[in-house]
């Protein structure tokens, strides 16, 4: 079971979490719980580090920010003991969760789940684990896994202890066909395949963190997204269908929709380089410097201009990197050789995702027609086996999402 910051924001909510845990223990399950820091705590700790020194040691930064989860783990263990549940808290290094040495964005290399399993058997003891943190074996230093790292910890621990399921408790009650704030008719999905969830998460849906879904897919850990704000007493732990969304292998999903969900992201920017010489090495001259500047390029569209000697190249970058990208390209002008560079930061990417697309033709064509009927101009398109994305003017984002949501029958 994993509980995020809003679920453990104060002692009352931690008591609520403890009742969720007790319900599962009473149903006969062995339980490991991963907790985040209380809502707002990590931001406060980060701010203190910056205040102490603008240029601070990343290792000490980790020592400070990892303390947030340590507090929650201890408090939840205390509350569980007070309601008669045998429990103890674990910090990442005590298990140990072994990570790389990239402080602030470490990757999990391995977890030994044997001690936890032994304690389940011998003492029926609930393990309350501080998420988001681990240890770099060689230096013995505490590391943190980056934003959303508690989800990653939870799935990795579930894999290490061979859990039946990893329940991610959050402030929404599952994964929806799209953002319900944009489309009130959005529906909660009962099940979604790992690949679809990966696409949804990486294309703008904020429910799950990409790395945790990846881990689940690789280690075959079924992930269940559910709400921590439902009354613990109202949920039947033995029911096969508590409210929520199961992220699982596609084999588990019998009735496959053609389209599962629609994601969108407004933090995109578009850059067009006009009349570039159409010769080998030009793409490398453009995208090499961007890669060196650690700028992620997403959609790329190339079209040959009328004279056949030059070409126009259009691509998208995160909105936050827009100005930097323009500067990088500007500096490389002599190497690239182009007439002019145009850019726009008022664009949005809308993506349609579904495993069913593999076996259905014309799914994208329907979308292009529906958008054209609404006078929405498409600036760029990218496709893969189970998704396609269109770049449009940001002003039309909501209209496009609602149009496509209805087009593929996701309202029903």
Token pair, residue 383, equals 């496709």
Q: Do 99 and 248 fall into the same domain?
A: yes
Q: Which residue has the tokens 């079209």?
A: 303
Q: Do 300 and 344 fall into the same domain?
A: yes
How far is 55 from 40, CA to CA, in rounded Å? 22
Q: How many domains in the chain?
A: 2
Q: Do 155 and 280 fall into the same domain?
A: no
118: CATH: 3.40.1160.10
264-292 tens-digit pLDDT: 999 899 999 999 988 888 899 999 999 99
How is residue 101 annotated by DSSP? S
103-140 tens-digit pLDDT: 999 999 999 999 999 999 999 999 999 999 999 999 99
Q: Do 324 and 233 fall into the same domain?
A: no
- Is the pLDDT at 235 greater than 90? The verdict is no
Q: Is residue 141 part of a domain?
A: yes
- Is the pLDDT at 143 greater than 80? The verdict is yes
- Is the pLDDT at 346 greater than 80? The verdict is yes
Confidence of residue 229 (pLDDT cuts 50, 70, 90): confident
pLDDT attached to residue 147: 80
Strand 87-90 with 32-35, pairing: unpaired
90-104 tens-digit pLDDT: 999 999 999 999 999
pLDDT attached to residue 256: 75
Residues composing the chain:
412
- Is the pLDDT at 240 greater than 70? The verdict is no
Token pair, residue 250, equals 């596609």
Q: Is residue 412 part of a domain?
A: no
**Range 234-254 average pLDDT:** 85
What share of the chain has pLDDT > 90, as a percent?
A: 79
CA triplet 41, 46, 49: central angle to 5 degrees? Answer: 130
Residue 252: CB atoms within 10 A of its CB come to 11
Listed in sequence order, the residues at least 6 apart from 115 whose beta carbon sits closer than 8 Å to its beta carbon are 95
Q: What global pTM score does this model have?
A: 0.87
Task: Report whether 261 contacts 354 (CB < 8 A).
Answer: yes
- Is the pLDDT at 255 greater than 80? The verdict is no
Q: Is residue 193 part of a domain?
A: yes
Q: For residue 76, what are the domain limits? A: 2-252
Report helix, strand and coil shares of the chain as percent, to nearest 5.
Answer: 40, 25, 35
Q: Do 267 and 392 fall into the same domain?
A: yes
Q: Do 93 and 134 fall into the same domain?
A: yes
Token pair, residue 335, equals 């190497």
Question: pLDDT averaged over the chain?
Answer: 93
322: CATH: 3.30.2130.10
- Is the pLDDT at 53 greater than 70? The verdict is yes
Using the 3D structure, point to which of 189, 217, 252 is the last residue of a domain.
Answer: 252
- Is the pLDDT at 353 greater than 90? The verdict is yes
pLDDT attached to residue 130: 97
Residue 46: CB atoms within 10 A of its CB come to 15
How far is 51 from 85, CA to CA, in rounded Å? 40
What share of the chain has pLDDT > 70, as a percent?
A: 99
């Amino acid at each position: 079971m994993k509980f995020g910051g809003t679920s453990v924001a104060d002692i009352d909510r931690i008591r609520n979490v403890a009742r969720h845990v007790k319900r599962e223990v009473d149903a006969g399950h062995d339980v490991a719980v991963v907790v985040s820091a209380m809502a707002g705590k990590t931001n406060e700790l980060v701010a203190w580090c910056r205040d102490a020194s603008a240029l601070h040691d990343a290792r000490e930064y980790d020592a400070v920010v990892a303390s947030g989860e340590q507090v929650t783990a201890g408090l939840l263990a205390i509350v569980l003991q007070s309601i008669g549940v045998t429990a103890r808290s674990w910090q990442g290094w005590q298990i140990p969760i072994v990570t790389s040495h990239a402080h602030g964005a470490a990757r999990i290399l391995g977890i030994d789940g044997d001690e936890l399993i032994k304690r389940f058997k011998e003492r029926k003891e609930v393990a309350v684990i501080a998420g988001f943190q681990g240890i770099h074996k060689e230096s013995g230093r505490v590391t943190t896994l980056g934003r959303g790292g508690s989800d990653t910890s939870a799935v990795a621990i579930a894999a290490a202890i061979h859990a039946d399921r990893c329940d991610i408790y959050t402030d929404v009650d599952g994964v929806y066909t799209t953002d319900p704030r944009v489309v009130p008719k959005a529906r909660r999905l009962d099940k979604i395949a790992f690949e679809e969830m990966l696409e949804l998460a990486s294309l703008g849906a904020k429910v799950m963190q990409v790395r945790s879904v990846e881990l689940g897919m690789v280690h075959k850990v079924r992930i269940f997204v559910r709400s921590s704000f439902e009354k613990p007493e109202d949920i039947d732990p033995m029911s096969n269908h508590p409210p929520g969304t199961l992220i699982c292998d596609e084999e588990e999903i019998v009735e496959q929709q053609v389209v599962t969900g629609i994601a969108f992201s407004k933090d995109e920017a578009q850059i067009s380089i006009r009349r570039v010489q159409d010769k080998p090495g030009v793409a490398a001259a453009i995208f090499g410097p961007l890669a060196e500047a650690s700028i992620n390029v997403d959609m790329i569209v190339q079209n040959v201009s009328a004279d056949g000697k030059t070409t126009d190249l259009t691509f998208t970058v995160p909105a936050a990197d827009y100005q930097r990208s323009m500067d990088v390209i500007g500096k490389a002008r002599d190497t690239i050789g182009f007439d002019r560079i145009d850019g726009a930061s008022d664009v949005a990417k809308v993506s349609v995702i579904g495993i069913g697309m593999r076996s259905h033709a014309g799914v994208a064509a329907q979308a292009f027609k529906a958008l054209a009927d609404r006078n929405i101009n498409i600036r760029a398109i990218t496709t893969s086996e189970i998704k396609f994305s269109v770049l449009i003017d940001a002003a039309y984002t909501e209209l496009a999402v609602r149009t496509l949501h209805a087009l593929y029958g996701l309202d029903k």
